[in-house]
Amino acid sequence: MRALFNAARTGIAEVRVHKMRSVLSFMAIAVGSVVFIDSFATIVSTYDRLQKQKEVSGIARLKITQDYDQTNSNPDEYTPPPNITYETAMSLKSKLPGLYMVSPEFQNWRNTLEFEGKRVVTTINGVTPEWAKRDFVYKLKGRFLDWQDLENKLRVCVLVRKAVPPPSNELTKTRMKQWNYTAAFDVLVSHNDMLGKTVKIDGVTFTVVGILEELSPSKQPDLIMPQARDYKVLAPATTLAHYGFFDEEYDSLDLNVDAGDENNFEESLKLIENFLKIRFGGDEFFMIDNQMETINEAIDASVKQSLVTISLGMLAFLAGGIGIMNITLATVFARTKEIGIRRAVGATRGDIMLQFIVEAAMLGLIGGVLGSGLGYLWGVPVKELLGMGASPIKPWMPAVSVLIAAFTAFVFALYPAWVAASLKPADALRTE
Amino acid sequence: MSISCSDLSKTYEGGHAGWPALRGVSFEIKPGEFVAVTGPSGCGKSTLLNILGLLDEPSGGRYLLNGRSILEMSDGERSDFRRDELGFIFQSFNLLNRLPAADNVCLPMMYAGIPRAEMHHRAHELLAKVGLKGKEKKTPLELSGGERQRVAIARALANAPKILLADEPTGNLDSASSREIMDALLKLHAEGITVIMVTHDRELAARAQRNLRMKDGRLEE
């Protein structure tokens, strides 16, 4: 312990005497520390985002739609695919109760919505309460659709209120202007408290039971699957069928399914295919889009990106470590005579090694602290100033960075310290 | 502490067959002796002193320090021996110029694990003994040649060694300073320390108890 203390004292004296050399060593490690903290923050934010995305979007997702692309050589043998109906969805849900979500969906375009004498063009989606189980990036005012609404085909609806686009998004603004996009529906819903009021959609009166307020872009978790989520009005699928918004004889629903457990995904997929075969005499009429693969690819891509980022951080430390090694080796050669003197008065090889290692570790420690400060400055105020968004720097990141900096310096000082300790006292003393 | 060398040789690497610095040197030094090793430049005096001081290893022969062969000692044991039993004085002083005189004297005690306060107290005492009271905080560069060598003597005495090895201790000094250093060495010898001094100055060598004359790596006693 005393030897360590003595080595530390000598180290402090060396740092003070050789200011330029010390500053160069600090900087070598400090740069590594800055990059490392930035990498860490990026990885943590990527991981957090992925976790949120998984929670919101789920992983074991698939989408069943009609497949019109059957390749029959003889057009006379072509059989149009059967329609997916609300009843199909309910049957699938009851046959496979292990599925987390079976959400049938139908979209009708160019409907007219009337409210207090104002008329706007909108779209309407026929859904069930299952719709809200995934990709729900809204704040709900009032209530969402429930099973009673569907069973009783009630004329109730939920309106979607768009988030205010970020003010910096000038490009979107310009494009919206170019396309003469007035977003009348969005303006109507934003400017009026329509909860509990009645609206007319294509002449049918609906009561607004809920408003879905889209979260602001900064609070909105990114969805793993980029989907066209241009929802405006949601109503019970059964109500829309009953009032002729779609005809189950001609129109088919899409089925969004979440198997829930990714481990049982393959089994669920087989059961669904089996269900379709039994019900429709074959599953070739349907396209089952395995979204889990896409989602996993997206996750893998994020993980790979994180690995690249952390590799950059490690490379920066490696460069810093090589800098420390280089400077320590130069120090050993410059202080060969001193090593000889210390050996002559009784220093062991261990004492000499300890001295150089402690000196380098101190440089690493100081560099790490300096780098952590710079890393915070770069990650928070500077990035915000540059409009890059502050990095989520957690208190443990600078602490880990300082430890890694000291450890890197320690590891890279081992060789120069060994060189110093291996010098024969008589040879070292002869050096001028 | 006795010294016994028999058939000691040292060959430096380099050249076709190496360069022999010592060729079969044999002698004994009894505890408390003052021995001067003399001879012309390049005769192997410093090589012999380095081997005696465990700073270098012989290529052949036997060197017993207090009855123990140095070849059987580990590097750590040799370091301990240098620290506790031996003291060195060099021609070029070999002080650490950025440290004050007191800290230079403390160096061997630091490696001996002596507490800081005790170490500094002893360093001040030793510097006073060699006539450098009040100059403890001066760095070697602020001292004269004679004063620097006295700091080196104080450092050599730090751990109360039994043997003092001096390699041309007056080589870089004027005659007055040389006399002072020689007087100091004689005084230490009188206190019971074995002194082995390498010098080419016959006048100084004459003041030693015994002379070992060397020529071409051999002893001509």
Q: How far is CA B201 from the centre of its chain?
A: 16
Q: Do A120 and A49 share a structural domain?
A: no
Q: Do B75 and A6 touch (CB under 8 A)?
A: no
Give residue A301's pLDDT band: very low, low, confident or very high (50, 70, 90).
confident
Q: Which residues pair with A200 in a beta bridge?
A: A114, A205
The predicted model gives A101-126 an average pLDDT of 91
Report if residue A214 sits inside a domain: yes
Give tens-digit pLDDT for B18-64: 788 899 999 999 999 999 999 988 889 999 999 999 999 999 999 99
Measured at the alpha carbon of residue A295, what is the angle toward residues A293 and A298, in degrees to the nearest 5?
110
Check pLDDT > 80 for residue B197.
yes
Report if residue A68 sits inside a domain: no
Q: What is the pLDDT of residue A432?
A: 74
Residue given tokens 């290893």 in the structure block: B57
Give tens-digit pLDDT for A19-75: 887 888 788 788 888 888 888 888 888 778 777 777 787 878 888 988 877 655 566
Structure-block tokens of residue A14: 């060396």
Q: What is the pLDDT of residue A170?
A: 64
Q: Which residues pair with A104 in a beta bridge?
A: A255
Report if residue A118 sits inside a domain: yes
Of A118-122, A219-223, B45-49, the least confident: A219-223
Which distant-in-sequence residues (6+ apart) come within 8 Å of B11 by Cβ? B18, B19, B20, B21, B59
Q: What is the pLDDT of residue B126?
A: 94
The secondary structure element, H or E, covering residue A93 is helix A86-95
The predicted model gives A275-295 an average pLDDT of 82
Q: Do A313 and A261 share a structural domain?
A: no
User: Taking each helix axis from N to C terminus, what angle separates B145-156 and B116-129, rounded to the nearest 10 degrees?
Assistant: 130
Q: Do A277 and A349 share a structural domain?
A: no
The predicted model gives A195-223 an average pLDDT of 87
B90: burial class by Cβ within 10 Å (0-12, 13-18, 19+)?
buried
Report if residue A376 sits inside a domain: yes
Report if residue A261 sits inside a domain: yes
The predicted model gives A72-90 an average pLDDT of 80
CB atoms within 10 A of CB B179: 16
| A347 vs A58: which has the higher pLDDT | A347
**In chain B, alpha helices (H):** 45-52, 75-84, 101-112, 116-129, 145-156, 175-190, 202-206
Residue A69 sits at φ, ψ, to 5 deg, of -100, 45
Q: Do A161 and A41 share a structural domain?
A: no
Q: Do A267 and A330 share a structural domain?
A: no
Q: Do A252 and A330 share a structural domain?
A: no
Report if residue A102 sits inside a domain: yes
Report the b/e string of A374-403 with b at 16+ CB within 10 A. bbbebbeeebeeeeeeebebeeebbebbbe
Give residue A381's pLDDT band: very low, low, confident or very high (50, 70, 90).
confident
Report if residue A61 sits inside a domain: no
| Distance (Å, whole) CA B127 – CA B147 | 10
Range of the domain at A98: 82-284
Q: Do A349 and B76 touch (CB under 8 A)?
A: yes
Q: Do A97 and A161 share a structural domain?
A: yes
Q: Do B94 and A341 touch (CB under 8 A)?
A: yes
What 3-state class would DSSP assign to B11?
A: strand
Q: Do A28 and A150 share a structural domain?
A: no
Q: What is the pLDDT of residue A140?
A: 94
Give tens-digit pLDDT for A149-179: 999 999 999 999 887 665 556 666 666 566 5
Q: Do A257 and A114 share a structural domain?
A: yes
| B80 vs A295: which has the higher pLDDT | B80
- How many folded domains does chain A comprise? 2
Residue B91 sits at φ, ψ, to 5 deg, of -60, -45
- In chain A, the largest separation of any two C-alpha atoms, in whole Å, equals 105
Residues of chain B with C-beta less than 8 angstroms from the C-beta of A3: 113
Q: Which residues pair with B182 in a beta bridge?
A: none
Best residue in B57, B59, B88, B111 for a mutation probing chain A (most A CBs within 10 Å): B111
Per the confidence metrics, is the pTM higher than 0.90? no
By Cβ distance, the residue of B76, B108, B113 closest to A345 is: B108
Kindly report the average pLDDT of chain A as a whole number. 85
By Cβ distance, the residue of B55, B79, B84 closest to A426 is: B55
| Distance (Å, whole) CA A307 – CA A313 | 10
Q: Do A429 and B55 touch (CB under 8 A)?
A: yes
State the nearest Cα–Cα gap between B77 and chain A, in angstroms: 9
- In chain B, the largest separation of any two C-alpha atoms, in whole Å, equals 54
Check pLDDT > 90 for residue A321.
no
| Distance (Å, whole) CA B3 – CA A84 | 106
A346: closest chain B residue by CA: B83
Residues of chain A with C-beta less than 8 angstroms from the C-beta of B76: 348-350
Report the b/e string of A307-342 with b at 16+ CB within 10 A. eebeeebbebbeebbebbbebbbebbeebbbbbbbb
Check pLDDT > 80 for residue A222.
no
Residues of chain B with C-beta less than 8 angstroms from the C-beta of A343: 55, 79, 82
State whether residue A341 sits within 8 Å of chain B by CB.
yes
| Distance (Å, whole) CA A15 – CA A409 | 14
Identify the domain boundary among A225, A260, A284. Answer: A284
| Distance (Å, whole) CA A377 – CA A338 | 40
Q: Up-side HSE of residue A263: CA atoms within 13 Å toward CB?
A: 0
State whether residue A386 sits within 8 Å of chain B by CB.
no
Structure-block tokens of residue B65: 């320090």
Q: Do B94 and A424 touch (CB under 8 A)?
A: no
| Distance (Å, whole) CA A165 – CA A167 | 6
Q: Do A346 and B79 touch (CB under 8 A)?
A: yes
State whether residue A349 sits within 8 Å of chain B by CB.
yes
The predicted model gives A129-136 an average pLDDT of 90
State the nearest Cα–Cα gap between A348 and chain B, in angstroms: 5
Q: Do A2 and B113 touch (CB under 8 A)?
A: yes
Could you write out the DSSP letters of every residue in B77-114? HHHHHHHHTEEEEETT----TTS-HHHHHHHHHHHHT-
The count of CB pairs under 8 A between chains A and B is 65
| Distance (Å, whole) CA B48 – CA B25 | 9
Residues of chain B with C-beta less than 8 angstroms from the C-beta of A425: 55-56, 82
Give percent of chain B above pLDDT 70: 98
A295: burial class by Cβ within 10 Å (0-12, 13-18, 19+)?
buried
Residues of chain B with C-beta less than 8 angstroms from the C-beta of A348: 75-76, 79-80, 111
Give percent of chain A above pLDDT 90: 38
Q: Do B95 and A337 touch (CB under 8 A)?
A: no
Closest by CA to A359, choosing from A25, A1, A27, is A25
| A283 vs B3: which has the higher pLDDT | B3
State whether residue A424 sits within 8 Å of chain B by CB.
yes
State whether residue A431 sits within 8 Å of chain B by CB.
no
The predicted model gives A96-124 an average pLDDT of 91
Q: What is the pLDDT of residue A109?
A: 84
Which distant-in-sequence residues (6+ apart) come within 8 Å of A330 by Cβ? A21
Q: Do A253 and A302 share a structural domain?
A: no
What 3-state class would DSSP assign to A414?
A: helix
- What letter represents residue B1's amino acid? M
Q: Do A346 and B84 touch (CB under 8 A)?
A: yes
Q: Do B111 and A348 touch (CB under 8 A)?
A: yes
The secondary structure element, H or E, covering residue B38 is strand B34-38
Give residue A306's pLDDT band: very low, low, confident or very high (50, 70, 90).
confident
By Cβ distance, the residue of A13, A337, A345 closest to B111 is: A345
**In A205-348, alpha helices (H):** 237-242, 265-280, 291-334, 336-344
Report the b/e string of A136-165 with b at 16+ CB within 10 A. ebbeebeebbeeebbeeebbbbbbbbbbee
By Cβ distance, the residue of B50, B53, B96 closest to A341 is: B96
| A369 vs A165: which has the higher pLDDT | A369
Residues of chain A with C-beta less than 8 angstroms from the C-beta of B90: 429
Q: Do A345 and B90 touch (CB under 8 A)?
A: no
Which distant-in-sequence residues (6+ apart) come within 8 Å of B8 by Cβ? B22, B24, B25, B26, B48, B51, B58, B60, B61, B62, B63
Identify the domain boundary among A255, A284, A313. Answer: A284
Say if CB A221 and CB A53 are below 8 A apart: yes
Give residue B156's pLDDT band: very low, low, confident or very high (50, 70, 90).
very high
Q: How far is CA A294 from the centre of its chain?
A: 15
Report if residue A291 sits inside a domain: no
By Cβ distance, the residue of B50, B94, B111 closest to A346 is: B111
Residue A214 sits at φ, ψ, to 5 deg, of -65, 135
Give tens-digit pLDDT for A26-40: 887 888 888 888 888
Q: What is the pLDDT of residue A225?
A: 59
B114: closest chain A residue by CA: A2
Q: What is the pLDDT of residue A175?
A: 64
Q: Do A279 and A166 share a structural domain?
A: yes
Identify the domain boundary among A231, A253, A284. Answer: A284
Residue A103 sits at φ, ψ, to 5 deg, of -115, 100
Check pLDDT > 80 for residue A376.
yes
User: Taking each helix axis from N to C terminus, what angle separates B145-156 and B175-190, rounded to the nearest 10 degrees?
Assistant: 20
Check pLDDT > 80 for residue A314.
yes
Q: Do A138 and A10 share a structural domain?
A: no
Say if CB B142 and CB B114 are below 8 A apart: no
